[in-house]
Structure 1
């Protein structure tokens, strides 16, 4: 029906002549939520289904020593450029659950149940988010570990100290296992963080896990479709993966970078947690040049959730372009 000027004026006059209705406040307000919904995200690589499961995040004050070869003001400028707050830094954590069709595989395990308590539910959330995604830890066939930092191995144990994945074989990089289980290396470790890592790794793997551990080599499939790739520097045995099925392929980069802002945009910056900063930088540039050239999608453990995107060259550094959210699998 066509709305004429006469109809419009008549309607306006009727509204003006109508008595004013009493104001009634709305009484259907919902209670204010105090937590996020469980955080997981699924996508497919060929016939393989990937579920990214958030372990939460850690936000901490930015110290001068956080990046060993850049001044704090330079780091703050890079954070501001990325619309991130100054003087604090946030690290995200995202293990993976991979359903190959024949096996249920977990890649890295997050910060663990002790961190969940100590962080007041900011991280250590892998177990509860994995359960919310519909996975039973007893059904996991294989756990693949990329390297032996606490945010990757501490979730191997449940809150009571027993194996969190009781029926799973635990696959670890052979070079990483050799380094952290070497008594001589432990005796030479600097006091503080490195000594703490040795002690933590011994506690984790001696808690009923040693018989479940199988070292693996680079350049071979650790499970069908998952190729182990050497990406050392962050640790001596740090490992990434190429996940392939059919025409689908994703590079699972583990800790080649931490949060891409600022470590992809400034690939020459060395974080204090890189065991060999020079080697880690060479690896970062080599790997990112490769994924740019091959236009590979990248899954980042420390990227903002859900951590899937593409890498493009951007000046002297790189930029991560997040993959668009897909409501279907």
Structure 2
């Protein structure tokens, strides 16, 4: 479910990476290093009883190229009132600000909003706005305002917990202090919703150890990427990535000590 895309300064992502190796790797992928415009993909899961969104996009107040989820939803047979559950990977603007519509009302009024306990506690803490850094202070203010709006419809979960039948939480801390991925299993089939733990289709896979400027704890995020990639490739799981290309759906191949994202055709 497309929420549009972001337009970010490349330095924000790549600034701490070794410049020459980075240039060669991006050249190999034919990436234009003068811009960074990742897709925003909200995952929709449906079964006989539930219609579940993983994250809700950016809404109308973050960036003009994003906040398109409602338009995408209108192309389906679902209305916002039909969404029974929203499950959050984390509380950055492009993932949670979309809980409110143009009138600051809840966009998914009938949904239970599921939040990892660590992530909620971090953004709810009044000291976060003063400690997160000036460039992200607005993230903290915006997250808290939307958490207050959904407070009466929140259910908390912890690492390893089954949130709904077949959907289990998987700690993937680093991008934010409580970032979560989710394993969806049905019979022999399995999918990992990775959120922003794997934030691009090239560096994150070939050099998961490199630190990204979008991660709040780059060292923890690098460790998370390595663990996730090892599990996903070993178990031959499909993945859905919020910022991966062509809808974000694909699989992971291990190539020596590196990995490769293979998008679904």
TM-score, normalization by structure 1 = 0.76
Alpha carbons 2:17, 2:212 under 8 Å: kept: no
Structure 1 partner of 2:219: 278
Matched, 1:249 2:181: no
Matched, 1:146 2:89: yes
1:249-286 deviations in Å (ceiling 9; x for gaps) = 11111111111122212212211121111111011001
Alpha carbons 2:194, 2:239 under 8 Å: kept: yes
Give 3-state SS (helix, strand or coil) of 2:109's partner: coil
Alpha carbons 1:93, 1:110 under 8 Å: kept: yes
Distance 1:142 1:163 in 2: 13
Q: 1:218 aligns with which of 159, 165, 181?
A: 159
Matched, 1:295 2:236: yes
C-alpha displacement of 1:313: 1.5
Distance 1:234 1:59 in 2: 18
Taking structure 1 as reference, are residues 234 and 61 closer, same or farther at Cα in structure 2, changes over 3 Å only?
A: closer
Q: 2:145 aligns with which of 185, 197, 203?
A: 203
C-alpha displacement of 1:166: 0.8
Alpha carbons 1:54, 1:93 under 8 Å: kept: yes
In structure 2, the gaps of 5 or more residues are none
Taking structure 1 as reference, are residues 125 and 72 closer, same or farther at Cα in structure 2, changes over 3 Å only?
A: farther
1:9-44 deviations in Å (ceiling 9; x for gaps) = xxxxxxxxxxxxxxxxxxxxxxxxxxxxxxxxxxxx
Distance 1:204 1:72 in 2: 38
Taking structure 1 as reference, are residues 174 and 60 closer, same or farther at Cα in structure 2, changes over 3 Å only?
A: closer
Correspondences of 1:75-154 after superposition (within 5 Å): 75-115=22-62, 118-119=63-64, 122-154=65-97
Alpha carbons 1:249, 1:296 under 8 Å: kept: yes
Aligned residues: 265
Matched, 1:176 2:119: yes
Distance 2:234 2:99 in 1: 36
Distance 2:141 2:227 in 1: 32
Give 3-state SS (helix, strand or coil) of 1:89's partner: coil
Structure 2 partner of 1:327: none
Taking structure 1 as reference, are residues 190 and 62 closer, same or farther at Cα in structure 2, changes over 3 Å only?
A: closer
Greater CA radius of gyration, 1 or 2?
Answer: 1
1:52-88 deviations in Å (ceiling 9; x for gaps) = x01111234422x532431445433322211222321
Alpha carbons 1:230, 1:238 under 8 Å: kept: yes
Distance 1:114 1:73 in 2: 37
Alpha carbons 1:94, 1:305 under 8 Å: kept: no
Structure 2 partner of 1:14: none
Give 3-state SS (helix, strand or coil) of 2:181's partner: strand
Structure 2 partner of 1:67: 14
Matched, 1:231 2:179: no
